[in-house]
Amino acid sequence: MKILKKTFYIAFIFSALLIACQSHNDKVSAKPNFSLSPIEMGAIKLSYSDTNSAAWKAIAKRLDSFYAVQARMGFNGSVLIGYQGNILYEKYVGYADKSKGMPLSPENEVQLASISKTFTGAAILYLNQNKYLDIDHLVTEYIKDFPYPDVTLRMLLCHRSGIPDYTHWVPTYRKNLEPIYNEEVLHLMAKFKPRVDFKANTRFKYCNTNYLVLASIIEEVTEMSFDAFLKQYIFQPLGMSHSFVYDPAKGLPSTATISYLGGYVPNPVMFADGVYGDKGIYSTVEDMYRWDQSFYQNKFLSNETLEMAYGPCSFEKLGVKNYGLGWRMLCYPDGYKIIYHNGWWHGNNTCFYRFIKDNFTIIVLGNKASQAIYRQPPALYSIVKNIDPVSGVDDGME
């Protein structure tokens, strides 16, 4: 009888443990059905600084002189400087479409290039914030045939995954020069398993594939296209009516800018133009200022999530430069922090600098190739603030 009772007790404990383990596994691996309603954010209305003040007139005069020189040097692009929620300065230099004689205006969308990563990263963090995914989970939980089993979403966000850049290896396996899309890149990755650059989470290396994968995870979790998700959860709620994700198959709207090489030569479409998440978003400086201000108003992300996004993730190299979750940053010893991202794709050179302690923003979107654009933010800061705390800012073309 004692033996029978002991056997029953052991069986009971084993069953309980089995059920508990199964319950835990279900809890960890289960992906909740996406049913989150778009936030009623309230579109961000733009306001302007007092243009009648002597201070504004003095700054505007200096900035106009600066851009007269930039125009002579070949600058073609849109500029917006914002302070404390007001537009301090806005300027449009050159053409949206030179062949049509169409000058740049507030309605002309520009390819953001890698500034697009700020949207992809924020969308992932929004889903994490609302518990539709976990950035510390493995990518394989969301993309089953992802061939790198040790990579988490966080490693993708902060460029510590070690996976290789698709712009380098795709041409090895695909000779067709027509635009390729995320799904096909993932298929090639699963089939050929390109060799990693380094072991996951051992160092930082900027890689466009990271954000391609993140955009595909957004689609997998929400069962929406990347374009539709951004439109319903970011662009429309914030009033960003001149922002969209580019699809080569659909072409560009008549308001979008042409991407020019030097001498106003249009840059032809190539195989990587179909990939999104790492680039591919078109916007305007006014829409980008709405995006910038949304973070101060917690329209999309909570303060807790933003603190996580603005936290540096790589410490192998000394210095102020670092990368968080979707953002580059300059972290100074006194605690001052500049959050930014640059972009470079075809003839588009773009800058998005956020001096978050001061709510001071510089946005430059160029649609004609010019590496000099990356030197504009420190010069503009110096003009407006009459000081230059950003000397030595990275003008990296990524």
Q: What is the CATH number of the domain that holds 188?
A: 3.40.710.10
pLDDT above 70 (res 385): yes
CA distance 355 to 362: 9
pLDDT score at 39? 66
pLDDT above 80 (res 6): no
Please tell me the total number of residues recorded for the chain in this structure: 398
pLDDT score at 32? 63
* pLDDT tens profile 13-51: 333 333 333 333 332 334 567 887 776 667 899 999 998
Name which of 15-19, 249-253, 373-377 the model is least confident about: 15-19
Structural domains in the chain (count)? 1
pLDDT above 90 (res 3): no
pLDDT above 60 (res 12): no
pLDDT score at 185? 98
Token pair recorded at residue 163: 């996976």
* pLDDT tens profile 348-361: 999 999 999 999 99
CA distance 76 to 70: 9
Exposed / middle / buried, residue 141 (Cβ in 10 Å: 0-12, 13-18, 19+): middle
Name which of 36-40, 77-81, 216-220, 267-271 the model is least confident about: 36-40
pLDDT score at 41? 65
Examine residue 41 and state whether it is found in any structural domain, yes or no: no
pLDDT score at 267? 95
pLDDT score at 37? 75
Name which of 210-224, 295-309, 364-378, 381-395 the model is least confident about: 381-395
User: 50-64, 160-174, 384-398: which has the highest mean pLDDT?
Assistant: 160-174
Examine residue 17 and state whether it is found in any structural domain, yes or no: no
pLDDT score at 40? 67
| pLDDT: which is higher, 29 or 68 | 68
pLDDT above 80 (res 392): no
Examine residue 23 and state whether it is found in any structural domain, yes or no: no
Q: In what order do the strands lie in the sheet with 110-111?
A: 110-111, 281-283, 244-245
Please state the φ and ψ torsions of residue 359, each to the nearest 5 degrees. 50, 55
Examine residue 48 and state whether it is found in any structural domain, yes or no: no
pLDDT score at 1? 41
Give the mean model confidence (pLDDT) for residues 45-71.
93
| pLDDT: which is higher, 244 or 16 | 244
Examine residue 279 and state whether it is found in any structural domain, yes or no: yes
Please state the φ and ψ torsions of residue 165, each to the nearest 5 degrees. -75, 125
pLDDT score at 35? 80
pLDDT score at 334? 95
Token pair recorded at residue 379: 């010069």
Token pair recorded at residue 303: 């303060």
By residue range, what is the domain housing residue 233?
A: 57-93+110-385
Helix residue ranges, H only, 88-244: 117-129, 153-157, 166-173, 182-192, 208-222, 226-230, 236-238
pLDDT score at 262? 84
Examine residue 143 and state whether it is found in any structural domain, yes or no: yes
| pTM across the whole model | 0.89
pLDDT score at 393? 34
Mean predicted lDDT score pLDDT of the chain: 89
Cβ–Cβ under 8 Å, residues 327 and 398: no
Exposed / middle / buried, residue 395 (Cβ in 10 Å: 0-12, 13-18, 19+): middle
Helix, strand, or coil (residue 268): coil
Examine residue 333 and state whether it is found in any structural domain, yes or no: yes
Q: For the range 251-257, what are the long-range contacts, defined as Cβ-Cβ under 8 Å and sequence gap of 24 or more?
A: 252/282, 253/109, 255/96, 255/107, 255/108, 255/109, 256/96, 256/108, 256/109, 256/110, 256/282, 257/96, 257/97, 257/104, 257/108, 257/109, 257/110, 257/111, 257/367
Examine residue 43 and state whether it is found in any structural domain, yes or no: no
